[in-house]
Chains A and B, each alone.
Chain A
Amino acid sequence: MSKQFLRPPGAAAEADFLGRCIRCGKCALACPYRAIRIAGLLDGLTVMGTPVILARKSPCYLCMKCVAVCPSGALDSRVKKREQIRMGTARLNKKECLNWQGTFCRSCYDHCPLFNEAITMDGELRPVVNEKKCVGCGICEHVCPADPAAIIVTPRGAG
């Protein structure tokens, strides 16, 4: 299995998604943030033509327009509310996180669309990801001022 990619909201589990997606590109056309990119041949033959999100560059803002236009059910139209989305899970790397190095920062906490639910601040004012609530949109990864990002979304189904 090649590298796992972050998929748009409502995407079926990877193997099922690869069978359902007809590579038509409509989700990418519909994305107002141009967050959805079309994977190319270099990304692997099996994923070529499928939609991927590179969260660090351009995350998903959970507008759900892509889910509405998907003709094949690869993006499940029954996923309507953002709370239902399971694109992946944000993971914090304490070695890179500014809060853990003594600099106060709340970029990820402030920008999380599931505010104070998916990311909370602990007693020492350090961000904590609530894996049950996190939908994997990648906004935290996008806004993280550390370089490389201290908080990174692991796509669903990847290690």
Chain B
Amino acid sequence: MKIAPIRRTVQILSLAGMVAVPLLNSRGISAVSGSFYSLEIGSLLLTDPLIALQPLLATMSIDATLLDSALIPIGLALVLGRVFCSWVCPQNTLSELFDAVGARLGLTRLWTPGPGPIPRYAVLALILAATLLYGFPLASLLSAPGIISVQTARFIYEGTVGLELALIGTIILVELFLVRRVWCTHLCPVGSMLSLFRFRKTMRVVMAEEGENTCLHCRECAKACQLDLNPMAGNIAPQCHNCGACIDACQEMTGERRPLSFRF
């Protein structure tokens, strides 16, 4: 079975939810409320782990409710990897869309960064250090999913949007013309934080051992990857966010014997 149709459905539902929540809230229906910073479903509070950590660093005081609300997202990352990024995040959905447009137009980028995770963790460390130093939640201003959802709500409530959306526009332009998908692979602090929560058993894309199944070395998986990772090379975490495009491409070539699959 293909992964793409399921993932597209989840992405569309996430976008629909992002619009529906403020629409319903504005009419007094608030069983679900919030944004991609922090979401409240009934009495269940879910907060982005990076966002939940900020007040602790900024004010040096512990708010148990806020920290607890990050546990379910952390648990999800520990089990399924960064599926928030690839299946839910509106910035990823936008970036994927524009990447497909770029491919249609035959755009070539100026520069291809290395695949290592060091740059992204360095950016995350810098942001957290600044939060600690200046007592100011910098990552909130750099959370693309947060900005997109809050600005959507603002548009619904006030009919206007803020200049904060310039960040989203910049990401799209940079990714189209300078470095392919660079926000998601090297810069986004939200994704970097989520990629810290992984262990041996976290779901990931695995190439079957030699003999178990046969890799055709067709490279279709690497071609399918928008993040320019090579699943045949093995260890692609933590850059890989489990979108499953490579697995679909592999299945295309090898049928149900596909050597590439999600494993725990």
- Give chain B residues whose Cβ lies under 8 Å from the Cβ of A37: 158
Q: Give the Cβ gap from B227 to chain A, nearest Cβ, in Å.
A: 28
Number of A-B contacts (CB under 8 A): 113
- Give chain A residues whose Cβ lies under 8 Å from the Cβ of B146: 23-24
Is B141 within 8 A of A45, CB to CB? yes
Asked if B261 CB lies within 8 Å of chain A CBs, one says no
Q: Which of B24-61 contact A (CB under 8 A)?
A: 25-26, 28, 30, 33-35, 37-38, 40, 45, 47, 51-52, 54-55, 58-59
Q: Give the Cβ gap from B153 to chain A, nearest Cβ, in Å.
A: 6
Which of A32, A46, A72 has a CB less than 8 Å from the CB of B136? Answer: A46
Interface string of A1-31 (1 = CB under 8 A from B): 0000000000000011011111111101110
Q: Roughly how many angstroms separate A46 CA and B141 CA in the complex, as a whole number?
A: 9
Q: Roughly how many angstroms separate A127 CA and B68 CA in the complex, as a whole number?
A: 48
Asked if A49 CB lies within 8 Å of chain B CBs, one says yes
- Give chain B residues whose Cβ lies under 8 Å from the Cβ of A25: 34-35, 37, 149-150, 153-154
Is B66 within 8 A of A38, CB to CB? no
Asked if A69 CB lies within 8 Å of chain B CBs, one says yes
In this complex, what residue of B is CB-closest to A71? B38
Which of A22, A28, A32 has a CB less than 8 Å from the CB of B140? Answer: A22
Q: Give the Cβ gap from B77 to chain A, nearest Cβ, in Å.
A: 19
Is B162 within 8 A of A38, CB to CB? yes
| Majority secondary structure, B binding face | helix
Q: Give the Cβ gap from A108 to chain B, nearest Cβ, in Å.
A: 27
Q: Which of B133-149 contact A (CB under 8 A)?
A: 135-137, 140-141, 146, 149
Is B22 within 8 A of A22, CB to CB? no
Is B162 within 8 A of A40, CB to CB? yes
Q: Roughly how many angstroms separate A49 CA and B141 CA in the complex, as a whole number?
A: 8
Q: Roughly how many angstroms separate A17 CA and B182 CA in the complex, as a whole number?
A: 33
- Give chain A residues whose Cβ lies under 8 Å from the Cβ of B45: 71
Q: How many residues of B contact A (CB 8 A)?
A: 40
- Give chain A residues whose Cβ lies under 8 Å from the Cβ of B252: none
Asked if A73 CB lies within 8 Å of chain B CBs, one says yes
Is B135 within 8 A of A19, CB to CB? yes
- Give chain A residues whose Cβ lies under 8 Å from the Cβ of B22: 29
Asked if B177 CB lies within 8 Å of chain A CBs, one says no
Known: A21-B137, A22-B47, A71-B66. 20 other contacts (CB 8 A): A18-B58, A19-B55, A19-B135, A19-B136, A22-B38, A23-B37, A23-B141, A23-B146, A25-B153, A26-B40, A28-B153, A28-B154, A29-B26, A30-B30, A41-B163, A69-B40, A71-B40, A72-B38, A73-B55, A73-B65
26 contacts between A and B (CB under 8 A): A15-B135, A20-B58, A22-B66, A22-B140, A23-B140, A24-B37, A24-B146, A25-B35, A25-B150, A26-B40, A28-B157, A29-B34, A29-B157, A30-B30, A37-B158, A38-B150, A40-B162, A41-B164, A41-B166, A71-B34, A71-B40, A72-B63, A73-B55, A73-B65, A73-B66, A74-B55
Chain A residues close to B by CB (< 8 Å): 15-16, 18-26, 28-30, 32, 34, 37-38, 40-42, 45-46, 48-49, 69, 71-74
